[in-house]
Amino acid sequence: MIRGPLKTALTVAVLLFGTAAANAHPHVWVTVKSELVFAADGTVEAVRHAWTFDEMFSAFATQGLDTDKDGKLTREELAELAQTNVDSLKEFGYFSFGKSGGKDVTFGEPKDYWLEADKDNVLTLHFTLPVVAKPAKGEMTVDVYDPTWFVDFSFAEKDPVALANAPAGCTVDVKGPDEASTAPTNLSESFFNNLTASSQFGSQFASRVSLRCK
Amino acid sequence: MRVFRRPGAIVLALVLIAVAGAVFAADAFAQGAPFGAKPAAPPPSGFAGWVLAEQAKFFRALSAAIREAKADGSAAYGLFWLSFLYGAFHAAGPGHGKAVISAYLVADGATIPRGIALSAAAAFVQALSAIALVGIAALLLGATARAMGETVRWLEIGAYTLIIVFGLLLAWRKGRAFLRSFVAWRTGKPAPERADHDHDHHAHDHSHGHGHGHDHDHDHCGHAHGPELEDLKGRGWLKRGLAAVFAVGIRPCSGAILVLAFALSQGIFLVGVASTFAMAVGTAITVAVIAILAVVAKDVATRLAAGSNGAGMVAIRGLEFAGALVVILLGVLLITGLIASERMFPV
């Protein structure tokens, strides 16, 4: 007696669940280039980001900012927006999640930040995130992603990451989010496992910068 | 207890309530933990991941299509098609009033035509809202993204407040109906006729042509089968439906704002407007599909409950009351930011 309606109800539940799980979705795409800046003692002292926004968001964000109406956006015209960007990024942990020696790396207030627009008025936000406590020497990862998936971060294909003042023997690479994981699959057991995924799952989703020094 | 003679109805009602809970729990999950705590990520694989990937594709294709439409007017048709598809996919995401409309339909005499009409109207209002925002703020006033963002925030607060108020009125109405049916069931007397008690006591039999030839008497409990005269004549339904449409529609969708802002920057604002309407058509279809699911679920519950006179009636009234409570809860979670609506990059 219960079987019939229960089955119907569960089917409905699965369908609704599916759409609910797809809820967070990006409106903004950011192409990331990052640089790890080393201190004299060979530890990383800052992460220098250059984030290029997609053209739609750039058009939205620069609305009304071309104060001299010359069709070009100068650094000065964009200064206030850059200020707002870095101020409000704090709430989101700058979308940058560092780890070193098994511990979280915390970042301080951004320095040297500005926005620049290219000829199509596509925006790039430059900012430097200082590392608060010295990370372990020679080993560090930085994930750049929005855990709430409203902003889609991916590293640039060309020169995604660089090292500044690095000691000899240090290499860095970038691994993007697991592309294969976005292929369509059935609503299988793994679908429900995903719904209860812990933070480890997030790193699979992230773009990760990995530093190794010999 | 007589009510347990129809465990199916009870189970279904409970599952529906649980699902409604899960919908916003998943929303809250998508919002993620506060920073500083371990961040959670939404599931990238399976159905959800596929929807995400498709949306991203459409969105990128959209911006390319707007560029093309600028260079060549006839490319605009491709843009409208893309906008339609994007709207359909995009509406599987947050906002767009799916949850509120579905909960409302469960609460208030749901029919499929109503579900479709409400979904379409909500999508249309959302399109108008985005066009008005970008048209007035950006085009006429030269406002900044920040000013537009603040405007959206105010619209959100207004919309969510309306959802709460609307839910409270609905809950008051449905709560009383629930109590009446409960009393009627316990005392074995039919519930007293009430002027504000829509279409429940007309004892219409359901032999009208829907093809499901069940011949049992629906007693006081049949109303979820289609556009019946009593339903469509109004009795407050239209008023409440429009209130629901307005409450969910006045918050413009971020995708439409971005398309409009980009079209404006390319000097083809009107193409952006047309594209926004195409998007609304796609959104309406997706929201309608989900609304229809809610209607069908309620219909199944109603049919199951129909056989068991009073107890089934109590279950259905309880379900409707729960639907109204879900509307309130959704409003509260939205206004407190506990469930994610939409966010762009912070500006």
For residue B42, pLDDT beyond 60? no
DSSP B231-245: HHT-TTHHHHHHHHH
User: Is the ipTM, as predicted for this complex, more than 0.90?
Assistant: no
Token pair belonging to B30: 């998508």
Secondary structure of residue B342 in the 3-state scheme: coil
pLDDT in tens, B142-171: 888 888 888 888 888 899 999 999 999 999
Position B235 scores a pLDDT of 62
The C-alpha atoms of residue B305 and residue B185 are separated, in whole angstroms, by 13
Q: What are phi and psi of B84, to 5 degrees?
A: -60, -50
Exposure pattern of B148-184 as b/e (b: 16+ CB <10 Å)? bbebbeebbeebbebbbebbbebbebbbebbebbbeb
Interface test with B, best of A11, A25, A179 (most B CBs within 10 A): A25
pLDDT-derived band at B212 (thresholds 50, 70, 90) equals very low
Q: If you count residue pairs, one on A and one on B, with CB atoms under 8 Å apart, how many are there?
A: 263
The C-alpha atoms of residue B252 and residue B15 are separated, in whole angstroms, by 32
Which chain B residues contact residue A15 at CB under 8 A? Answer: 293
Please judge whether A21 and B48 are an interchain contact, meaning their C-beta atoms are less than 8 angstroms apart: yes
Position A147 scores a pLDDT of 79
Report B:49-88 residues touching A (Cβ under 8 A). Answer: 49-53, 55-56, 59-60, 62-63
Token pair belonging to B101: 């409309």
A18 in contact with B at a CB cutoff of 8 Å?
Answer: yes
Position A34 scores a pLDDT of 94
Higher pLDDT, residue B208 or A82: A82
What is the rounded average pLDDT for all residues in chain B? 74
Q: Supply the pTM of this predicted model.
A: 0.72
Position B262 scores a pLDDT of 93
pLDDT (mean) for B253-270: 90
> Any bridge partners for residue A171, and if so which?
A212
Position A125 scores a pLDDT of 96
User: Could you tell me which of B133, B122, B77, B150 has the C-alpha nearest to residue B261?
Assistant: B133
Q: What are phi and psi of A48, to 5 degrees?
A: -100, 115
Report A:39-78 residues touching B (Cβ under 8 A). Answer: 53-57, 59-65
Residues B86/B90/B91/B97 CA torsion (nearest 10 deg) = -130
The C-alpha atoms of residue B247 and residue B163 are separated, in whole angstroms, by 6
The residue behind tokens 């560029």 is B67
Distance (Å) from the alpha carbon of B274 to chain A's nearest alpha carbon:
17
pLDDT-derived band at B238 (thresholds 50, 70, 90) equals confident
CB atoms within 10 A of CB A112: 10
For residue B125, pLDDT beyond 90? yes
For residue B281, pLDDT beyond 90? yes
User: Could you tell me which of A171, A178, A114 has the C-alpha nearest to residue A138?
Assistant: A171
Helix axes B98-107, B145-187, angle to 10 degrees: 20
Chain B residue nearest residue A181, CA to CA:
B45
Position A145 scores a pLDDT of 87
Nearest 5 degrees, angle CA B110-CA B111-CA B112? 130
Position B194 scores a pLDDT of 46
Tens digit of pLDDT at every position of chain A (214 positions): 445 555 555 555 545 544 444 455 678 889 999 999 999 888 899 999 999 999 999 999 998 898 888 888 999 999 999 998 999 899 889 999 998 988 899 999 999 999 999 988 899 999 999 999 888 888 899 999 887 777 888 888 888 999 998 888 899 888 766 543 433 333 344 433 443 333 334 444 557 888 988 8
The C-alpha atoms of residue A98 and residue A142 are separated, in whole angstroms, by 4
Interface test with B, best of A56, A86, A104, A179 (most B CBs within 10 A): A56
Position B210 scores a pLDDT of 40
The C-alpha atoms of residue A27 and residue A112 are separated, in whole angstroms, by 27
Q: What is the largest CA-CA distance in chain A?
A: 75
Q: What are phi and psi of A161, to 5 degrees?
A: -150, 145
A114 in contact with B at a CB cutoff of 8 Å?
Answer: no
pLDDT in tens, B10-27: 545 554 554 444 444 443
Task: Measure CB to CB from residue A182 to each of B35, B52, B138 and give the nearest one.
Answer: B52
Position B308 scores a pLDDT of 65
Query: B260 with B131: CB under 8 angstroms?
Result: yes
Measured CA to CA in angstroms, residue B322 lies from A136, B35, B327 at distances of 54, 33, 9
Share of chain B above pLDDT 70, in %: 66
Q: How far apart are the first and last CA of chain A?
A: 68
Position B190 scores a pLDDT of 63
Report B:321-340 residues touching A (Cβ under 8 A). Answer: 340
